[in-house]
Structure 1
Amino acid sequence: MQRFIHHSLLLVIGLAYLPATLQAADHPNVLLLCIDDLRPELGCYGVDYIQSPRIDALAKKGRIFTKHYVQAPTCGASRFALLTGTYGSYGNNALFKRSRELRSGAESVPPSFPAWFKTHGYRTVSVGKVSHHPGGRGGSNWDDDSQPEMPNSWDRHLMPCGDWEHPRGAMHGLAHGEIRKNAKEMDVFQSKPGSDDIYPDGLITAEALHQLDDLAKDTAETPFFLAVGIIRPHLPFGAPAKYFEPYRDAVLPAIEHPSKPTGKTTWHGSGEFMKYNRWKRNPNTDAEFATEVRKHYAACVTYADTLVGRILDRLDQLKQRENTIVVLWGDHGWHLGEQAVWGKHTLFEESLRSPLIVSFDGMDDPGESSSAIVETIDIFPTVCELASIPRPNGIDGQSLVPNINDPKKQGTEAVSYGSRATTIRTPTHRMVLHRNGYAELYDHRTPAGETVNIAEREPETVQRLTEKLHSKRSFPRN
């Protein structure tokens, strides 16, 4: 009884700060759109050669966070942070580790994002790649019902596979059911004529529309939490040919800082990218090929943008937009030649910064951007507050509602981690702390950005940021 009174009091206090339209709705729906490997390479983020009209339109109705940072530059660990609101371990099996803890009877594991909303009366459905494995299951082909990635979280967790046979095949699939078996035998990019459904994301979107139709029938009694995970622009870069056409003759800006960094960093040799068939070409030494890669990535972004638009259009057709919180999130960034990297898995800005847009009806100053530094772990508590649900105990994130209400409000710092080091991003600096104590320090107020390590020149800054880093998170966390 005391716990209920405590939660009720917190909820009443929180409601005083909510926009009027959300006070009127008991519990608005939630639509969470997760897009894989999406850099902030969108029109609404100031990139003029990219065609992303549907996400740009969403941004005009929402709050754009221009300095959103993920917790880890890899899919599984980043999605762990999104779906638990906590810092976690590095690696794609982070959610499976949590699953084993839950099944072993551990009582200290906080509830997941969807599980918490399910507890509060929501119907929870995931379609596509929301957790690391599309469909949320383990096993050799990621379709074993006895190995849930997120136990007790989803009423339905779905992954339509069609000709790709199983979720593992769809995750790395190319057109017309081509499954990744040996990456060396698959082209690193592809553009085939046909409809949206010739690639797996077309099937994911069709299923998401079907689920929306079903969920919308009962929203007067039961709100929904629908998470949709779009795979592209994840490797290999395959999209219907019509999405490549706008880029065929496009002039792309020069790659910033294209040289391999000197000294000790988290640089790597782009192994995930390089194992695909590249026709014996290397984008670090072949400028024409580098441009081709970037154009095919852009085509995948426009493909994903169109699919997002189809989902939002259906939300409008069902007259649910006014009572739905829409969150669009990229699970991490992706190097397109910066620091001579083609991939993720570094602790540079390009791997860690990704799009975040929050939209709901009645927002003050929609379309205004916030430059506050925010983290992926903040999304869970933010949606709790917007949906008039108390935040659970044990999560690390902080609500972004103050930043939504006042886009000029500053943030704090962002912590991210990899297998070899940990980093903290402030409004002016990034510090990377390696496990042996070696530090990288970069000043983002200078044109050099993350190319000149000034740690030896500014030991006091390193010490201050090290203390701040450890105050936010203990390392390493296995």
Structure 2
Amino acid sequence: MARSECRMSSGGRMARRRTRDRRPLLAGLIAANVLVGLTALGLWWRKAQPEPRAASAVPTVTAVAPAATARVDWDRFRSGTVDPDGRCVGCNVLLISLDIFRPDRLPCWGGPHETGDTICSMAENGVVFEDFIVQAYQTPIAQMAMFTGRYPSRTGFTRFSAQLPADEPSLPEAFAAAGYDTVAMGSSFEVMTDMSKWSKHGHRFTRDDLNPGLSFGRGFSRFVYTGYRNLPTDALPFLTTRTRGEAPFFLWLVFGTLHWPYGAAVPADLRDRFDPPDYQGEFEGLSAPHFPLLSRVYRNTWYSPAGPVPLSEDDMDWVRARYDTGLRLVDDFLGQLLAAIPAEQAENTLVVLHGIHGEDLAEHGAFGHYDVYDTEVRQRLIILHPRRAGAPAVVDTPVEGVDLAPTLADLAGLALPALPAGEVLDGRSLREAVRTGEADPDRAALSERIPLWEDIFRHLDNMPVGYVARIRPLMEGPAVGDFALRTDRWKLIHRRARTLESAVSWWTEVTGMPLERPELELYDLHEDPLELNDVAADHPEVVATLRAALNARLAGLDLPPEP
């Protein structure tokens, strides 16, 4: 049986074709979960290397046995009823949020490995927004902007320690008020837990009020943290046992599975499937690259406590391959999940998948999410609408993460709760774009690099004591950072916090090299999609135009002075 697969066309957009079958991943289900013990720097050296010092324990991840690859019958997600206005009133809503999602690691967007077919096929059968630009590069800040429809600096939700003001409404509250059964399940502790009491996973945060779950739990009747970086398997019985007579549901599934340690939830015997052939590099013997390692890799060098270790391209590809194994696990699980939804539920369910933010896989020197390059803020938004007329569509002009709340409310025929007096919504409904497959080609998207990553590093108990003592007083004030404005072709980054960043830079701490940035950076995304070449000096007129537009966008935000 042939399957539907995507491929990259010129310009990096998704095209469609039919290809031969993919080899199944596994024939059956492994019955027992395997506890995978990770050690912070436990590498087996093939050749003489300086002895690394012991480091604090790394959180333990429970490996999840993947099911055999499931084929989703996408026709089940189409209703016999078409809504001419493009709404889905009374429909269930299944919202799938993927943390540190790199869609370009999937085969349909140019990925180098067979990382799965479910998300690609979903995009082929729905409406996909290929330039879904999120407003932040840290999980709680980016996701809360999507739930409120407002920029982080508008709501003040700009830190892990932030709490959403009581009079600031969010999307789940709109569905709860309309009588939906509102449930959240997920493995991203960044939005679902009290992080200040998170010591059970091997290291802890030292600040007492890091509790984003208080804000994200609003509007939900059930709010379930499913475990560290695992798959939200509790969703399977929830979705497969519901009956038509029950109230419609709003189910938010949050996947922390892709996050570092990359591939840790994948069974040990499958983690090496995408490794470089006959890999015998510096990381041989390490099961899953984790934060104590990745936070010390910069520009093809591992700055180990024992001294710098140059890394080969195979070493770098090995780290990326471990990310890809986690992506395959998530994609296979999504296929199992969507295939299991009963037909009478599927034809009445709006399925929405998006990335919360992305991940730099050393394109700019580091593994992680530290900036507002497209690797971190350009995501996909995919919508399967059971009552939509017409063929699947690809929308390739920029939209914003803040559009999610007004779009889902509008598609469901709901109104978002009223904002505080004098406040405005930054997002706009994409219902018409979902209906027609076209969006505003002249739109520009804003991203905030607030706070700097060092803001959370100072609250980790496994960071160097002297470093934390030095940067803590410099970062006690209001959260500050940089801003980016992105059009279809151009991105302007204003390094508003460059002076503070140079004083607190983790990379300077690790490498001993000073961090210097220009005030303004400009990238031509058509010619340089990875944003490796700053062309601000070559296009002063574009810089001036975009800076004026960025300043106008920021004028309504309550920003602290430049540090």
TM-score > 0.5 by shorter chain: yes
Correspondence list, 1:215-254, <5 A: 216-217=242-243, 219-237=244-262, 238=264, 239-241=266-268, 243-244=270-271, 246-248=273-275
Q: Distance in 1 between matches of 2:212 and 2:138?
A: 25
Aligned-pair CA distance for 1:244: 3.6
Correspondence list, 1:94-243, <5 A: 94=159, 97-99=162-164, 101-102=165-166, 107=167, 109=168, 111-129=169-187, 132-134=190-192, 136-137=193-194, 139-141=196-198, 148-150=214-216, 152-161=218-227, 170-171=228-229, 200-201=230-231, 204-205=232-233, 207-213=234-240, 216-217=242-243, 219-237=244-262, 238=264, 239-241=266-268, 243=270
Q: Distance in 2 between matches of 1:323 and 1:477?
A: 43
- Of the structure 1 ranges 236-245 and 409-418, higher mean CA displacement relative to structure 2 is found in 236-245
Aligned position for 1:58: 122
Aligned-pair CA distance for 1:48: 5.4
Q: 1:402 aligns with which of 411, 432, 436?
A: 432
Q: Distance in 2 between matches of 1:379 and 1:283?
A: 43
Contact 1:21 1:361 in 2 (8 A): no
**Identity among equivalent pairs (%):** 25
Letter in structure 2 aligned against 1:300: G
Aligned position for 1:426: 487
Aligned position for 1:43: 107
Contact 1:49 1:250 in 2 (8 A): no
Contact 1:22 1:386 in 2 (8 A): no
Aligned position for 1:296: 322
Contact 2:189 2:225 in 1 (8 A): no
Aligned position for 1:359: 384
Bigger RCO (CA 8 Å, 6+ sep): 1
Contact 2:171 2:416 in 1 (8 A): no
Q: 1:313 aligns with which of 311, 320, 339?
A: 339
Contact 2:132 2:401 in 1 (8 A): yes
Aligned-pair CA distance for 1:133: 3.1
Q: Distance in 2 between matches of 1:373 and 1:38?
A: 18
Higher relative helix content: 1
Letter in structure 2 aligned against 1:119: A
Cα distance change of structure 1 residues 338 and 148 upon mapping to structure 2, 3 Å threshold: same
Q: Distance in 1 between matches of 2:388 and 2:178?
A: 24
Aligned-pair CA distance for 1:357: 0.8
Aligned-pair CA distance for 1:210: 2.3
Q: Distance in 2 between matches of 1:95 and 1:73?
A: 12
Cα distance change of structure 1 residues 462 and 240 upon mapping to structure 2, 3 Å threshold: same
Local SS of the residue matching 1:232: coil
Aligned position for 1:273: 294
Letter in structure 2 aligned against 1:112: S
Aligned-pair CA distance for 1:369: 1.4
Letter in structure 2 aligned against 1:152: R
Q: Distance in 2 between matches of 1:72 and 1:91?
A: 13
Q: C-alpha deviations, 1:49-74, integer Å up to 9, x for none?
A: 33221112221221111111111111
Correspondence list, 1:75-90, <5 A: 75-89=139-153
If the length of structure 2 is used for normalisation, what is the TM-score?
0.63
Q: 2:496 aligns with which of 399, 415, 435?
A: 435
Q: 1:67 aligns with which of 106, 112, 131?
A: 131
Contact 1:347 1:416 in 2 (8 A): yes
Contact 1:75 1:92 in 2 (8 A): no
Correspondence list, 1:377-416, <5 A: 377-394=402-419, 395-411=425-441, 412-416=443-447
Q: Distance in 2 between matches of 1:119 and 1:232?
A: 31
Aligned-pair CA distance for 1:321: 1.3
Cα distance change of structure 1 residues 92 and 391 upon mapping to structure 2, 3 Å threshold: closer
Contact 2:132 2:398 in 1 (8 A): yes
Q: Distance in 2 between matches of 1:355 and 1:461?
A: 26
Q: C-alpha deviations, 1:401-424, integer Å up to 9, x for none?
A: 222222244441111011331001
Q: C-alpha deviations, 1:384-413, integer Å up to 9, x for none?
A: 111111244443211112222222444411
Local SS of the residue matching 2:123: helix
Contact 1:122 1:225 in 2 (8 A): yes
Q: Distance in 2 between matches of 1:70 and 1:284?
A: 34
Local SS of the residue matching 1:363: coil
Aligned-pair CA distance for 1:433: 0.9
Q: C-alpha deviations, 1:189-230, integer Å up to 9, x for none?
A: xxxxxxxxxxx22xx22x11122245x23x535211000111
Aligned position for 2:93: 30
Cα distance change of structure 1 residues 369 and 242 upon mapping to structure 2, 3 Å threshold: farther
Query: RMSD value over aligned CA atoms?
Result: 3.4
Poorly superposed stretches of 4+, deviation over 6 Å: 21-24, 90-93, 142-147, 281-284
Aligned position for 1:167: none
- Of the structure 1 ranges 83-92 and 49-58, higher mean CA displacement relative to structure 2 is found in 83-92
Cα distance change of structure 1 residues 330 and 91 upon mapping to structure 2, 3 Å threshold: farther
Contact 2:89 2:411 in 1 (8 A): no
Q: Distance in 1 between matches of 2:277 and 2:132?
A: 28
If the length of structure 1 is used for normalisation, what is the TM-score?
0.73
Cα distance change of structure 1 residues 116 and 282 upon mapping to structure 2, 3 Å threshold: farther
Aligned position for 2:59: none
Cα distance change of structure 1 residues 476 and 288 upon mapping to structure 2, 3 Å threshold: farther
Q: C-alpha deviations, 1:22-41, integer Å up to 9, x for none?
A: 87964211001111111112
Aligned-pair CA distance for 1:19: 5.1
Local SS of the residue matching 2:398: strand
Local SS of the residue matching 1:117: helix
Cα distance change of structure 1 residues 347 and 249 upon mapping to structure 2, 3 Å threshold: closer
- Of the structure 1 ranges 219-228 and 136-145, higher mean CA displacement relative to structure 2 is found in 136-145
Letter in structure 1 aligned against 2:108: C
In our comparison, the structure showing a higher alpha carbon Rg is 2
Local SS of the residue matching 1:149: helix
